[in-house]
Each structure stands twice: as C-alpha cells, then as structure tokens.
Amino acid sequence: MQIAAPLLENPMVARLSQYPHHRGKTRLDHVKEVAELSFYWGNRLSLDYTAIVRGALLHDLFFYDWLHEGPRLHGFRHHTIALRNARKVTPLSKKEEDIIKKHMWPLTPIPPRYPESLIVCLVDTYCSIRDYLNIKGELTHGTKISVKNKISRRIHGR
C-alpha cells in the first residue's frame, strides 16, 4: 500500500474507476488486483516488488471502453497508449516501462525483458481469464482464508 498509495491518489489513475474493464469490474479494480497478486509473487520470488506494483497499476492506463470504442486492434496497441499515459503520471524506471510495454506478450511479439515484467504479464493473463470464466479462486493465501471462512460458516451454520 505504501508503494501504491501515491499512484492511487493520482487523478489520472483514479479516473480508471470510470471505465468498465472485465465483466462487472472497473479498470481500476483490475489494475489493483493485478498489482496485489503480482506483489505477492514478486515478494515470494525476491523480485523488485516496487517496480512490479507501480508497473502493474499503470499497465492498463487508457481512457476508453475498449469493447465499444478506442483504436482498432486494441489488444495490440493499448500497451503503447498506457505507456504514453503512464509517463505523464510519474517518471518510470526501465523495468517499469518494460512491465507496461510487454504485458500483452505473447500477443505482442517482443518478450518481457525482466522477471518482474513476466510476473505482471502472467498475472494479468490469469486475472483476465479468471474474470471471464468467473472463477472465484485465488493464487495466494486468499485461498486458505476463503476455505477457512467456508469451514467456519459450516461450523457456525452461517
């Protein structure tokens, strides 16, 4: 949260809450989910989680409803638009730029250069597929928490 807070307070990033992204989720919901889960894996794998959180929060920084408007071939182009917008929000490290630029790989041909970029790319794909399949699972300790909650509800009859 310490890493994310300054970006979440930025008006351009906050504007993402006005755009639908995947099935009932806003784009802000999506980037926060990707940042949180990428942080978890980045931390576990001892990677640069500051770059991961910042890159993930900015990876879909574009301002149109991609299902109904925006450029043709959105899937192949929005990473460039997001990168251009992200540069207006904050100075970016090379790693953060790579995270944003390569997050659509392998749809875009050049592979991620850093493990941090690969993590965000994989988590973004996972979150997107999960949203469309409506899977409720988590790849983090969240699983344990939700199982624990279910057991507790069974025991207490709630």
Chain-centre distance of CA 143, in angstroms? 19
Nearer to Fe ion, 60 or 96 (CB): 60
Nearer to Fe ion, 36 or 124 (CB): 124
The least distance separating Fe ion from the CB of residue 54, rounded to whole angstroms, comes to 15
Determine if 116 is a binding residue for Fe ion (CB under 5 A).
no
Binders of Fe ion among residues 57 to 76 (CB under 5 A) are: 60
Tell me 26's DSSP state.
Answer: E
What is the pattern of x (binds Fe ion, CB under 5 A) and - over residues 31-60? Answer: -----------------------------x
Determine if 124 is a binding residue for Fe ion (CB under 5 A).
yes
| Pairwise CA distance, residues 57 & 82, whole Å | 10
| Pairwise CA distance, residues 143 & 69, whole Å | 36
Query: Do 3 and 49 meet the contact criterion of CB atoms below 8 Å apart?
Result: yes
Query: Do 7 and 58 meet the contact criterion of CB atoms below 8 Å apart?
Result: yes
- Per CB under 5 A, residues contacting Fe ion are 60, 124
